[in-house]
Copies of this chain bind each other. A is one copy, B any other.
């Protein structure tokens, strides 16, 4: 069922749920561990860092590519989301990924689909505020992938910090047997956080997009110099983003990194998270201020 790695080292592509389940069960029967990296494709260095972690620590690595419709709102970029499948497969081949799970929308959400998972209290803030469908869609598809693939480990990037919290709560609350491995955000050499949505940016917009990471850097500098008022830091961030050409702020949050409650004072471990629309792309970035 599983292709042995030969000189061409071709990743096994699976699109049916029943076949994916069979393959997973046969891997488990051999007492081998499965690492899962769920993605929406358009793989960049951020994804590759997740895949690398899985290849290093698990016997078999499954990457899923599925642009999940239930996590997009009605006016979001579901239709235009990039789907460069061939170049994604080349990357998976090169890395030595064992299996690509690439189901259709109809396979994952057949006619009459009715079931959704909701994580309360941590999905109303930050990205959940402007994208109310996002985390219900994410939790649902991730739970389905876990049930189909039955991984021992699943790898998620800290760029989507709130998503990681959602998935950690999902696993704990529903008594799932999968370890969630957090992997740090990966940046371009100039600081821009890796994102599939960076593809949408023009040269000028990409320049503006640098404002997110640079502003976060500036905020961290100020905090290191002793400023603890969240309002002061928020104002500083806001001012810099407002000065950025073509940038529209969605949110600036200085909050607890576990429950996402806004802070007045930057004391204890703190998350600073931004979402900014630049041209056609809604970009996010974040940093953690460790306990000071």
Contacts and interface: CB of A to CB of B under 8 A. Distances in A.
Residue from A115, A121, A169, A176 whose CB has the most chain B CB atoms within 10 Å? A115
Interface stretch (A142-150, A200-208, A265-273): A142-150
A289 B144 CA distance: 35
Interface in A122-153: 122, 139, 143-144, 147-148
A168 to B, nearest CB: 10
A13 interface: no
A118 interface: yes
Interface string A140-183: 00011001100000000000000000000110011111000000
A144 B114 contact: no
A109 to B, nearest CB: 8
A115 B169 contact: yes
A176 B21 CA distance: 10
Interface band, chain A: 20 to 34
Contact of A17 (B120, B121, B169, B175): B175
Nearest to A145: B175
A102 to B, nearest CB: 16
A119 B116 CA distance: 6
Interface string A174-218: 111100000000000000000000000000000000000000000
A117 interface: yes
Contacts of A17: 175
Contact of A115 (B113, B147, B148, B173): B173
A69 to B, nearest CB: 14
Contact of A116 (B21, B118, B144): B118
A115 B118 CA distance: 6
B119 A173 contact: no
A177 B21 contact: yes
Most interface-central of A113, A119, A175, A176 (chain B CB within 10 A): A175
Interface string A96-111: 0000000000000000
B114 A117 contact: no
A119 B147 CA distance: 17
Nearest to A116: B118
A144 B113 contact: no
Most buried by B among A114, A118, A120, A122: A114
B114 A116 contact: no
A11 to B, nearest CB: 22
Nearest to A173: B115
8 contacts: A114-B119, A114-B121, A114-B169, A115-B169, A115-B173, A117-B118, A144-B175, A147-B176
